[in-house]
Amino acid sequence: MTITLGVLVSGSGSNLQSIMDHIAQGTLDATIAVVIANNPDALGLQRAQKAGIPTQCVMHQEFPKREDFDIQLVHILQDAGVEWVVLAGFMRILTPVFLAPFAGRVVNIHPALLPACPGIEAQAQQVDYGVRLAGCTVHFVDEKMDHGPIIIQAAVPAYADDDSSRLGARILELEHRIYPQALQWIAEGRIQLQDRQVQVQGVARSTSSRWWTNPPLEAPFDQ
Ligand code: GAR
């Protein structure tokens, strides 16, 4: 089934680009009805325009209350016939006013292995903490920040000489894979939600390794 997406961006829009590319390649069964940014300089707007996708810029600063901004977003998304809302680097917390009309149909990507390092500058948080495994998470959105049920996570190694931009680039490469994958599972109707547990029907168990450590285990501990 083809799903109709509305994508919200605040910045570069590289995740939006990956989603558009997968749609163009036929590997993601979706259409993007509208891309909305809360920042007129968001490169994501230009990327969408280049692909012929309708765009809107709604600046949150122009609304007296958070809820008023959210209502405006809901109007635009509903007018465009959006079924699923995709947050792709959208740096605003959405209120229940937004979430109610799209209950269970808002997804987000976060550049950390949630529940570690929620909030802003997750890449820097991971570097500063000295994590050995960093990563990214696609999850359903609920009213708490970076909190909803997890659909897919990807881990990447973090090295002692990483800075946030090097680690961020390594994470972003995986973001561009797991977001289209999660959306395709949604399009195929394979995602079921029970409380916090997300089941992906027909998905294989991870076979790449029984475990994964960073640094790697050495003999005899790797047996
Ligand atoms: C991505 O790394 C995304 O995970 C992050 O913003 C970046 C947007 O990049 N989102 C958050 O931090 C949300 N808490 P993009 O505009 O190139 O897709």
**Ligand 1 centre distance from Cα of residue 61 (Å):** 21
pLDDT digits (tens, 9 = 90+) for 64-109: 999 999 999 999 999 999 999 999 999 999 999 999 999 999 999 9
Binding site membership of 20 for ligand 1 (Cβ less than 6 Å) = no
Residue whose CA is at the smallest distance from ligand 1 atom 14: 110
Q: Tell whether 219 is covered by a domain.
A: no
Provide DSSP, 114-167: TTSS-SS-HHHHHHHHT-SEEEEEEEE--SSTT-SPEEEEEEEE--TT--HHHH
Residue 181 per-residue DSSP state:
H
**Ligand 1 centre distance from Cα of residue 222 (Å):** 35
Which domain does 16 fall in, by range?
1-103
Compare 108 and 206 and report the one with higher pLDDT: 108
Domain's final residue, options 103, 120, 137: 103
pLDDT digits (tens, 9 = 90+) for 37-64: 999 999 999 999 999 999 999 999 999 9
Looking at the fold, whether 190 and 114 belong to one and the same domain comes out as yes
Looking at the fold, whether 113 and 56 belong to one and the same domain comes out as no
Residue whose CA is at the smallest distance from ligand 1 atom 17: 14
Q: Tell whether 183 is covered by a domain.
A: yes
Looking at the fold, whether 128 and 160 belong to one and the same domain comes out as yes
Looking at the fold, whether 84 and 152 belong to one and the same domain comes out as no
Looking at the fold, whether 3 and 93 belong to one and the same domain comes out as yes
Domain's final residue, options 51, 82, 103: 103
pLDDT digits (tens, 9 = 90+) for 142-153: 999 999 999 999
Q: Tell whether 218 is covered by a domain.
A: no
Q: Tell whether 138 is covered by a domain.
A: yes
Q: What share of residues in the chain are helix, strand, coil (percent, to 5)?
A: 35, 25, 45
Binding site membership of 15 for ligand 1 (Cβ less than 6 Å) = yes
Looking at the fold, whether 127 and 188 belong to one and the same domain comes out as yes
Confidence band of 206 (pLDDT split at 50, 70, 90) = confident
Looking at the fold, whether 130 and 200 belong to one and the same domain comes out as yes
Looking at the fold, whether 94 and 4 belong to one and the same domain comes out as yes
Q: Tell whether 159 is covered by a domain.
A: yes
Compare 207 and 112 and report the one with higher pLDDT: 112
CA angle 18, 54, 111 (to 5 degrees): 30
Catalytic entry in 22, 60, 110, 176: 110
Binding site membership of 180 for ligand 1 (Cβ less than 6 Å) = no
110 included as an active-site residue: yes
Q: Based on the structure, what is the number of domains in the chain?
A: 2
Looking at the fold, whether 116 and 206 belong to one and the same domain comes out as yes
Please report, for the domain that includes residue 152, its CATH number.
3.40.50.170
CA angle 79, 81, 82 (to 5 degrees): 110
Distances (CA, A) of 59 to 41, 90, 117: 11, 12, 27
Looking at the fold, whether 60 and 118 belong to one and the same domain comes out as no
Looking at the fold, whether 71 and 135 belong to one and the same domain comes out as no
Confidence band of 117 (pLDDT split at 50, 70, 90) = very high
Kindly state the average pLDDT of the residues 25-40.
98
Probe target for ligand 1 pocket from 172, 174, 176, 178, with the most ligand atoms within 8 Å of CB: 172
Domain's final residue, options 103, 134, 169: 103
